[in-house]
Structures are given as C-alpha cells and as structure tokens.
C-alpha cells in the first residue's frame, strides 16, 4: 500500500510489545523504525559506566556536561552504538532496566534524547516507539497508537525475553521492575507517560502478531480513506 511520508508514534507501558508492533509497521510500510527507549537505556549504561548514578538512583549532576561527549546512534537501522561500540545487548539487562526510569525522569536527559531523535527522524517516514512520542516528541504525528496489556501478560513476555537471552530472570523481580517503571514513568514531572487524546488504544493481551498487523493495517488504511477507521478501541 502506498502511503505518504508520515510519522507514526507508538506509546505505551513497558513490555506491551511496542517495539515488535513498531518494527512490524516499519517493515510492512517501508518506514524507518526508531526505538526511543533504547536511547534512554544507552544513557543509563553510560551513566553507570561513568559512575554517575549511585545504587540509590541519585544522579550526579555532572552527567549533563558528560552528555555533550556522548555519541549514541543506530547502525543498520536499529542496532544502538556508543561511539564504535555495539551496546545492543548491554542495554537490555536487568541492571540497566533497574535504573533507566530514574535517568529518563531527568529533564536534561530528555532534552538530549529528544534532540537525537529529531535528528534521526529528519527524513520523515518514521515509526517511533516510547512513552511520550505522541505527546511530546512528535505531538503532530499523523498516527498515534497507545498499546496496553494486562500486567501479568507483560511480565511473562519480558520474563520469556530475558530467559531466551540466557539471563536467569525471577518472575517476581521482573514484575516488580515493570510496576516500578510504570509508576515512575507515569508520575514524573517532565513528559510523563500518558495516552495522547488522539491516540488509538490497543489492548493486545489476547492478540497474536497476525491480528495486530491486521489491526494496524486497518488503522493506516482508515487514516488515508481507504476504508473506515476501526471503531473498536478508538479513544478520540
Ligand atoms: O522495553 P520496555 O518497553 O520495557 O522499555 P523501553 O521502551 O526500552 O524503555 C525503557 C525506559 O526508558 C522506560 O521505562 C522509560 O523510563 C524510558 N523511556 C522514556 O522515558 N521515554 C521514552 N520515549 C521511551 C522510554
């Protein structure tokens, strides 16, 4: 299907399958996929390696200056690099997950990431996933999706993902981490996680990828007048 160069924002809680969904749309419609969460994870890894975040999550203010030297970028579309180093694996550990939300709540960290995201997205035709893409980063995105799923389904998905990578996850810890991040992400002062008023909501607790693709295709076709937009789940 030929659709114009637009921006698609996919937001939602942790482990709702945002990146799977966004990648799938990107592949289907030949868009660039950008994972904003990876950027926050990259900054967290950087702060940890530089010793700028304490075990109690206190962030050393010198991080702001240090960010001026931080080169985070994607290679081959989606593989996050810090300078020359491929950090894709390192940013997905529980160690990074446990400190990413406090780091992402810091206003200058958000400014750093937003600046990078806008530069990466300059060419248009982008699908980006995160927490505040439809509300803050691209408030004018032509299509906004807000994904949600039941907490136990999300925790199981993340548990399976970590186990498949050879980590030894403990279900209760994974669940606790998701709940803590949901809380911090939704309650921070700068760009909290919330659904944009014009976002389409999808609860994918009981959905497989084929159904999700069909839903997304219906939504996008609807947007361009190729058929009626799905009524169910419309939050506008
Ligand atoms: O993979 P998961 O859905 O659990 O999280 P992620 O998308 O990798 O994002 C990791 C963390 O980065 C989130 O818990 C947020 O604290 C932060 N984040 C954010 O604040 N704003 C975004 N646009 C994306 C992520």
CATH of residue 157: 3.40.50.300
Please determine, for residue 236, whether its predicted confidence score (pLDDT) is greater than 50.
no
In a domain, 122, yes or no: yes
Q: Which domain holds residue 118?
A: 8-221
Span 207-235, average pLDDT: 73
In a domain, 236, yes or no: no
In the reported structure, the alpha carbon of residue 209 is separated from the centroid of ligand 1 by a whole-number distance in angstroms of: 21
For residues 44 and 115, give the distance between their C-alpha atoms in angstroms, rounded to a whole number: 17
**Cβ of 234: how many Cβ atoms within 10 Å?**
13
Span 223-232, average pLDDT: 60
- The number of distinct structural domains making up the chain is 1
Q: Does any ligand 1 atom lie closer than 6 A to the CB of residue 185?
A: yes
CA 227 centroid distance within chain: 29
For residues 35 and 109, give the distance between their C-alpha atoms in angstroms, rounded to a whole number: 16
In a domain, 202, yes or no: yes
78-126 pLDDT, tens digit per residue, is: 899 999 999 999 999 989 999 999 999 999 999 999 999 999 998 789 9
In a domain, 228, yes or no: no
For residues 134 and 130, give the distance between their C-alpha atoms in angstroms, rounded to a whole number: 9
Q: Does any ligand 1 atom lie closer than 6 A to the CB of residue 159?
A: no
Query: What band does 170 get if pLDDT is binned at 50, 70 and 90?
Result: very high
User: Kindly report the CA angle at 151 between 148 and 156, in degrees rounded to 5?
Assistant: 110
Pocket test of ligand 1: the residue of 100, 144, 146, 176 to mutate, having most ligand atoms within 8 Å of its CB, is 100
- Check if the beta carbon of residue 228 is closer than 8 Å to that of residue 43: no
Q: Which of 53, 26, 29, 25 is nearest to 41 (CA)?
A: 53
In a domain, 230, yes or no: no
Please determine, for residue 2, whether its predicted confidence score (pLDDT) is greater than 90.
no
Residue nearest ligand 1's atom 5 by CA: 14
pLDDT in the model for residue 232: 53
Q: Which of 53, 85, 79, 81 is nearest to 66 (CA)?
A: 53
- How much of the chain exceeds pLDDT 90, in percent? 74
In a domain, 43, yes or no: yes
- Check if the beta carbon of residue 157 is closer than 8 Å to that of residue 20: no
Name residues whose C-beta falls within 8 Å of residue 55's C-beta, 6 or more positions apart in sequence: none
5-43 pLDDT, tens digit per residue, is: 889 999 999 999 899 899 988 988 889 999 999 999 999
In a domain, 154, yes or no: yes
Please determine, for residue 234, whether its predicted confidence score (pLDDT) is greater than 50.
no
Query: What band does 74 get if pLDDT is binned at 50, 70 and 90?
Result: very high
């Amino acid at each position: 299907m030929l659709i114009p160069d637009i921006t698609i924002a996919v937001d939602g809680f942790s482990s709702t399958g945002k990146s799977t969904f966004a990648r799938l749309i990107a592949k289907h419609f030949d868009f660039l996929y950008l994972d904003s969460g990876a950027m926050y994870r990259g900054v967290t890894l950087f702060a940890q390696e530089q010793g700028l975040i304490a075990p109690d999550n206190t962030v050393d203010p010198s991080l702001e200056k240090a960010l001026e030297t931080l080169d985070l970028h994607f290679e081959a579309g989606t593989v996050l690099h810090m300078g020359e180093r491929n950090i894709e694996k390192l940013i997905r550990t529980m160690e990074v997950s446990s400190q990413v939300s406090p780091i992402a709540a810091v206003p200058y960290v958000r400014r750093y990431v937003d600046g990078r995201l806008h530069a990466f997205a300059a060419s248009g035709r982008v699908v980006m996933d995160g927490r505040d893409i439809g509300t803050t980063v691209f408030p004018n995105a032509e299509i906004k999706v807000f994904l949600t799923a039941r907490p136990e389904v999300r925790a199981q998905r993340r548990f399976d993902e970590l186990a498949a990578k050879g980590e030894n996850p403990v279900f209760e810890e994974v669940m606790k981490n998701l709940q803590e991040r949901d809380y911090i992400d939704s309650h921070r002062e700068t760009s909290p996680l919330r659904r944009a008023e014009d976002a389409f909501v999808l609860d994918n607790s009981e959905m497989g990828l084929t159904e999700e693709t069909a839903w997304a295709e219906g939504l996008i076709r609807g947007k361009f007048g190729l058929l009626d937009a799905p009524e169910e789940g419309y939050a506008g």
